[in-house]
Amino acid sequence: MANAYDEAHSLSLTDPAAFWGKAAEDIDWVKRWDKVLDDSNPPFYRWFVGGELNTCYNAVDRHVEAGHGDRTAIIHDSPITGTQRKISYAELKQLTASFAGALADQGVGKGDRVILYMPMVAEALVAMLACARLGAVHSVVFGGFAANELATRINDAKPKVVVAASCGLEPGRVIAYKPLLDEAIRVATHKPDRCIILQREQKQADMTAGRDVDWAEAVSNARPHDCVPVKATDPLYILYTSGTTGQPKGVVRDNGGHAVALKWTMKAIYNVEPGEVYWAASDVGWVVGHSYICYGPLLHGCTTVVFEGKPVGTPDAGTFWRVISEHKIPVLFTAPTAFRAIKKEDPNGEFLKKYDLSHFRTLFLAGERADPNTITWAQTQLQVPVIDHWWQTETGWAIAANCMGLEEFPVKLGSPTKAVPGWDVRTLDENRQEVPPGQIGALVCKLPLPPGTLPTLWNADDRFRQAYMDEYPGYYKTGDAGFVDEEGYVYVMTRTDDIINVAGHRLSTGAMEEVLANHPDVAECAVIGVHDDMKGQMPLGFLVLKAGVTKPHAEVVAEAVKMVRETIGPVAAFKKALVVGRLPKTRSGKILRGTMQKIADHQEYKMPATIDDPDILPEIEEALLEVGLAR
Ligand code: COA
Ligand code: AMP
């Protein structure tokens, strides 16, 4: 007999309109859709065409109207400041309506963009929801990015207003956001009309007269704003993510498909009920933060946790257990790197013994490959299912997962289990032919993609086609390689492009190379991701210096490291580079980054048939040995 998963997965592919039309009944619509799926203009698919709704209404107001105003919507837990704050759904409605009014006073309306540069405070969610309330399009920029990255996003999104906090808090240091914002606006070609600044007591910001407005003042003068109906296909947000160059891709998310899909995943994948507490330990600057700190849990009527801290050091490796126990959290979602960090500090789980976790049900991991060691350690310590699931900024929710609310399958270590309903995952070879089960190839998803996935890139339909749709016509290219076994379990092995994954953060080595190439002494460069026990991967740079440079190599390297930190940001974690005489290349001049990575990671490698000069590889090996990499 077919199980609930098989039934759902099969219907979602044979009759997506029936499947998602039913899921859409769980959302409140101002106007019902005319058509569930408009597939008239592939590869641009549109969901719930003709429908109108408001995402903020669905995430906040409707729970209040249903009598759940007293339920806690947000718990802000900050071990860094030693404070906690609980916000009920009724309060969240009031805060969101007031801030929407403040944004409207600054001229923000439907379709206008608003950039949010915010740390992990409840106001980050309030600002996102307030934009949604107005039908404005938010774009959150992660706090670990430097001014230049913020400027790139300002130029692309052209926001009317930027909302920022005066500072973010990292363990042991206060990061003043305002100087970074001022510098970003100085170098950007687009200038926002206004900046609304949330003053935090740890570091107050100097305000620019005529441009900057204080959050508290703006709100106190504002009239609460109602929810503005928008089309299901109107954009809710833009989230920039690393591509293969320094120009990030603006992933667009619509309103209707997004609300339907995320609401559905809360039960189907995570198996949580409205009223339960759901914790995604990530950051609002990443897609996980958008989908599962802000929108998913709130659309489902859960309590969401905004955690301002790290898995270790704030104050210790027991922080996660303290939060789970104190707030009675049944489900946690984080990146494997967080667990590797905890395991390193507390291998025997001594901290765990101090807390009552009897109500904890499931741990979900994503953002990078979950190594079997980490999964087994977490299972042993927590004695609950540890569920790896695979997704991307572009998809907004999981492509493959053990759907705990449908049918729990046995875990196979190294696999995020099966394609989630809505996803038709295939493995293709370089000739675009499907390969047999178990054989590695490019992981692609047959079109149409389900609702809530990217309908396009911001103002870049051509780039959307070229990046995701052109190489395998009829399929979405995930950029990941792997295989699907005989039982339909998906295995995600590696990226097929220049993207690396550092502590669950997605970074472009191409973007780092662009920065290094600007160093006056550097003639040529390459950046690869090398294995790191804690962060999964770390970037490593190779620099070839211009003829006649006499500066000590260590000096050039230090300058290069500083340049990447100042241009991309501390999150790039670019700390190591080597000066080499030359780079290994193919005869056509392509740098053999893959081979260099294999050498650095102690993997077997074949001498590439197309290599220009085989003698270079031993030189690279020697340089790596000098810094403790390679054999
Ligand atoms: N604002 C400013 N700086 C930030 C920042 C922010 N929001 N987030 C990170 N940084 C800085 C860090 O302070 C660090 O700076 P440093 O080089 O001076 O030490 C640098 O960026 C790198 O940060 P990170 O990669 O996070 O390393 P870390 O050593 O601070 O922490 C982990 C390592 C594993 C504990 C941490 O990455 C973590 O908790 N990861 C969880 C996974 C996660 O959130 N993934 C997101 C997708 S699910
Ligand atoms: P991001 O867009 O930051 O979410 O990063 C997406 C990329 O992270 C994917 O394309 C994968 O390379 C990687 N990734 C995310 N989740 C997993 C997972 N569960 N297993 C393996 N790789 C993953």
Model pLDDT for residues 478-492, shown as the tens digit of each residue = 999 999 999 999 999
The answer to whether the CB of 504 is under 6 A from ligand 1 is: yes
Query: Tokens 């025997």 belong to which residue?
Result: 348
Question: Do 17 and 34 contact (CB within 8 A), yes or no?
Answer: no
Between the CA of 571 and the centroid of ligand 1 the distance, in Å, is 6
- Residues for the chain: how many in total? 631
CA neighbor of 200 nearest in space, from 85, 108, 74: 85
Between the CA of 130 and the centroid of ligand 1 the distance, in Å, is 27
Q: Which ligand has the nearest atom to the CA of 293? A: 1
| Residue ranges, the chain, pLDDT below 70 | 1, 630-631
Q: Which ligand has the nearest atom to the CA of 143? A: 1
Tokens of 386: 């540890």
pLDDT in tens, 401-419: 999 999 999 999 999 999 9
pLDDT recorded at residue 62 = 98
Nearest residue by C-alpha to atom 3 in ligand 1: 144
pLDDT recorded at residue 627 = 80
Assess if CATH 3.40.50.12780 describes domain 4-309+389-469: yes
Between the CA of 243 and the centroid of ligand 2 the distance, in Å, is 14
pLDDT recorded at residue 387 = 97
CA neighbor of 198 nearest in space, from 169, 167, 170: 167
DSSP state of 313: S
pLDDT recorded at residue 631 = 62
Ligand 1 pocket: which of 310, 389, 390, 565 to mutate (most atoms within 8 A of CB): 310
The DSSP annotation for 428-460 comes to E-TTSPBPPTT--EEEEEESSPPTTS-S-BTT-
Ligand 1 atom nearest residue 565's Cα: 17
Question: Do 464 and 274 contact (CB within 8 A), yes or no?
Answer: no
pLDDT recorded at residue 244 = 72
Give the binding-site residues of ligand 2, using a 6 Å CB cut-off: 241, 287, 366-370, 388-393, 416, 478-480, 492, 495, 501, 506
Ligand 1 pocket: which of 170, 365, 506 to mutate (most atoms within 8 A of CB): 170
Between the CA of 454 and the centroid of ligand 2 the distance, in Å, is 16
Ligand 1 atom nearest residue 285's Cα: 7
pLDDT recorded at residue 630 = 66
CA 127-132-136 angle, 5° bins: 95
Ligand 1 pocket: which of 142, 333, 337 to mutate (most atoms within 8 A of CB): 337
Ligand 2 atom nearest residue 504's Cα: 3
Look at the alpha carbons of 345, 351, 353, 359 in this order and tell me if their dihedral is positive or negative.
negative
Ligand 2 atom nearest residue 288's Cα: 4
- Of the chain, the end-to-end C-alpha distance in Å amounts to 53
pLDDT recorded at residue 242 = 85
Between the CA of 170 and the centroid of ligand 1 the distance, in Å, is 8
The answer to whether the CB of 283 is under 6 A from ligand 1 is: yes
Bridge partners, residue 238, by sequence: 252
Ligand 2 atom nearest residue 506's Cα: 3
Q: How many Cβ atoms are within 10 Å of 247's Cβ, its own excluded?
A: 18
Q: Which ligand has the nearest atom to the CA of 344? A: 1
pLDDT recorded at residue 433 = 97
pLDDT recorded at residue 325 = 98
Classify residue 356 by burial, with Cβ atoms within 10 Å: 0-12, 13-18, 19+: exposed
Query: Tokens 């109602």 belong to which residue?
Result: 226
Question: Do 463 and 457 contact (CB within 8 A), yes or no?
Answer: yes
pLDDT recorded at residue 344 = 96
pLDDT recorded at residue 307 = 98
The answer to whether the CB of 514 is under 6 A from ligand 1 is: no
Tokens of 166: 């005066």
The answer to whether the CB of 104 is under 6 A from ligand 1 is: no
Tokens of 482: 């792997």
- Sketch the domain layout of the chain as residue ranges: 4-309+389-469, 499-626
pLDDT recorded at residue 391 = 96
CA neighbor of 141 nearest in space, from 131, 129, 153: 153
The second-level CATH assignment, the architecture, of 499-626 is 2-Layer Sandwich (3.30)
